[in-house]
Amino acid sequence: MIVYPAIDLHGGKVVRLKEGDLEQQTIFSDDPVAMAQHWIDAGAEWLHVVNLDGAFAATNDNLRVLERIAALDVRVQFGGGLRSSEDIALAFAKGASRVVLGTVAVEQPEVVAQTINERGAEAVCVALDARDGNVTTHGWQTQSSLAPVEMGKQMAGIGVRHVIYTDVSRDGLLTGVNLDATVALARETGLQVIASGGVNSLVDVQNLFDAGCIAGVVIGMALYQQKINLADALKIVRQNNVG
């Protein structure tokens, strides 16, 4: 299982939102590249970088930030506002190892299939961000009629291998990961599911690993509020992987 420290970018700063709401924003750093180096120094091999400005369709310079982070010799899973083949190609050109596709996966699944054909399944992750049992799009502002399992099966059918499941109602609130829904998604779709939203403690990390079917976990607020030490989380996962 892979642990992904989250770096959410808004206005050139590292922030965390509560329930995806820009009005509930906390700024944790003015220097996202330094923050990336901090997590790398703690042992991170992957980073989960989100262009919140892009997700909310705001003009931004976060692709340059992506380029600088990728130059640190770390694998970057990058999403937020990638809604066309051109957007996706530019993210890869700036150093993304894997792109996270949300809105475009709902509205234009053929773009997801094309990207997999061109880049391979390991380079693509689909965001199944859910509120009240349905997938949300456009920065979590629009609710679709699709349930995560339903959409997950559709994505598996076009070659998707990796998905991120976020319970939006828990994101940034430190209320604990939605273990049951995350595990159900993995077992019912056969996808490599990355858990996200609400992760609060090392117990969450351990429980996800113990489920035996979860491929990764994105940790944000718990790291920034020092409820989880990244080195400790990585140690648990690596010891379990060896065992």
- The residues carrying an active-site annotation are 8, 129
How far does Cα 155 stand from its chain's mean position? 17
Distances (CA, A) of 153 to 66, 110, 166, 191: 30, 15, 17, 8
Cβ(92)–Cβ(119) under 8 Å?
yes
Contacts of 76 (CB under 8 A, 6+ apart): 46, 47, 49, 66, 69, 70, 95, 96, 97, 98
Count of other CB atoms within 10 angstroms of residue 153: 15
